[in-house]
Amino acid sequence: MATTQQKELQKLYSSVTGGVEDEELERIVADSERIMRGPAGLLLAQAGLDQSTTQPFQLLDNACGTGPIAAHLQDHIDKKLLSESKIVCADFNANLVGILKRRAAKYSWVNIETAVGDAQNSVFPAESFSHVTINFAMHVIPDPEAVLQDTMRLLKPGGIFAFSVWHKDTKGWATDMRSCFEALPFDAPMPNPVPMAIHGKLQWTDPKGIEEELKSHGFENIQVKTMPHVVPVYSAEDYLRSYSMMKDWMINAHWSEDSKKKAQGMLDEHIVKHLKEKYNGEGWDLDWTVIQATCQKAF
């Protein structure tokens, strides 16, 4: 059963539309890339897909979002090799798939297929991919164990599964949002810490727990790495714009109706004012912690 956190977050993701105007589309993509693109590149390198790749591959990027995995491949893999390979980007959220399709068309990405689908139970044929990636979703998808089972089915013998999640101790956007909420003149609750395992399965935000899950599902050559990730914030206004979905998530999941009414018409202005005072009107960095895991299906 989905948690309240999951339900509220899914509502917000579903509200992202593929029909936004070009300027708004570029902003949505830029904000996503600032957080997701660096880890996407490191994940692909850990999976053996980087500038040194010479053999054609068949990749399924599940929970693809707006396309940081695909974008990185387009920028770093030889175009001829891309044309000989197969890249399928799939997501449960049709709106996000729509944004990715618009990016692919606008920038003439090579050999990109898209699909709306569920990583827990995909419709793709068995043993049809050499690689499967999931960038920042295994801690959100309701049944990550079902994802492992389906991924094992999808991979060719010797195929590689690579995914990233936020570490359980990640601070990221939450520290500043909590600071803003605590400065409000009314009750504005926010969990401390904010749970990174949105589905409530804590092992998926812990390196040892992830390794044990992968072993129990029959994967081999398991590598689980923890690394810091720094994301710049350019101004208080930039923070509010970039993390407004997280703000709404916290409000919808944890605030009373009375607090929501008191916040109407003043909350965004309060957040900007508070953060300008906190950081003397300058930008700052957010510290995140990423877990990246790769594993292999037996030959």
Q: Which residues contact 131 (CB under 8 A, 6 or more apart)?
A: 47, 49, 57, 58, 59, 60, 155, 159, 160, 161, 162
The residues that bridge with 59 in the sheet, in sequence order, are 87, 131
H-helix or E-strand containing 249? Answer: helix 244-254
**Residue 271: C-alpha distances to residues 31, 94, 254 (Å):** 18, 31, 18
Tokens 């175009």 -> residue:
79
- What is the pLDDT at residue 266? 98
Domain boundaries, the chain: 4-171+194-239+287-296
**Residue 187: C-alpha distances to residues 194, 206, 245, 246 (Å):** 17, 32, 20, 18
Among 152, 298, 293, 151, CA closest to 220: 298
- CB neighbourhood size of 160 (10 A): 23
- What is the pLDDT at residue 28? 81
Q: Are 201 and 143 in contact (CB under 8 A)?
A: no
The residues that bridge with 128 in the sheet, in sequence order, are none
User: What single-letter amino acid sits at 271?
Assistant: I
- Structure tokens given for 291: 């877990």
- Structure tokens given for 296: 């292999």
Write the CATH number of the domain with boundaries 4-171+194-239+287-296: 3.40.50.150
- What is the pLDDT at residue 1? 45
Q: How far apart are CA 222 and CA 283, in angstroms?
A: 38
What parts of the chain have a pLDDT lower than 50? Answer: 1-2, 6, 8-9, 18
Tokens 């690689």 -> residue:
131
Q: Specify the pairing of strand 220-233 against strand 284-296.
A: antiparallel
Give just the sign of the alpha carbon dihedral 224, 151, 53, 290: negative
- What is the pLDDT at residue 11? 53
Give just the sign of the alpha carbon dihedral 30, 31, 32, 33: positive
H-helix or E-strand containing 258? Answer: helix 257-263
At 282, give phi and psi (nearest 5°). Answer: -110, 170
Q: How far apart are CA 249 and CA 10, in angstroms?
A: 9
